[in-house]
Amino acid sequence: MDDPLIVVALLLVAGSATAAVAVRDPARQALVLAVLGTVLAVLFTVLQAPDVALSQLAVGSALTPLLIMLSVRKVRRPKRREETER
Amino acid sequence: MNGWTVAATAALAVGVGATVWGVATGPLRRRVVAQNLSTSLACPALLLLSEGYDRPSYVDLALLLALLGPVGTLVFARLLVEDLAADPPRTWGLTYAVAAFGAAVVIAVCVAAGPSRALVKLLVVGALLIGGNLTASRALSGGFAGSRRG
CA–CA separation, B78 and B150 (whole Å): 7
To test the contact with chain A by mutation, choose from B14, B61, B73, B133 the residue with the greatest count of A C-beta atoms within 10 A, namely B61
- Global confidence as pTM: 0.88
**pLDDT in single tens digits along all 150 residues of chain B:** 788 899 999 999 999 999 999 999 888 888 999 999 999 999 999 999 999 998 888 999 999 999 999 998 998 888 888 888 887 887 788 889 999 999 999 999 899 888 888 889 999 999 999 999 999 888 888 777 554 444
B69 touches chain A (CB under 8 A): yes
ipTM: 0.88
Test the A interface: residue of B20, B33, B57, B63 with most A CBs within 10 Å: B20
Rounded Cα distance, A63 and A69, in Å: 10
DSSP B115: S
Judging contacts by C-beta atoms under 8 Å, the chain B residues touching residue A70 are: 79
The range of the structural domain enclosing residue B68 comes to 3-148
Q: How many CB atoms lie within 10 A of CB A15?
A: 18
- The pair phi, psi for residue B143, each rounded to 5°, is -70, -30
Cβ of B12 within 8 Å of Cβ of A8? The answer is: yes
* Number of domains chain A contains: 1
Domain range for A31 is 3-85
Q: State how many domains chain B has.
A: 1
Among candidate residues A9, B96, B11, B14, the one with its CA nearest the CA of residue A17 = A9
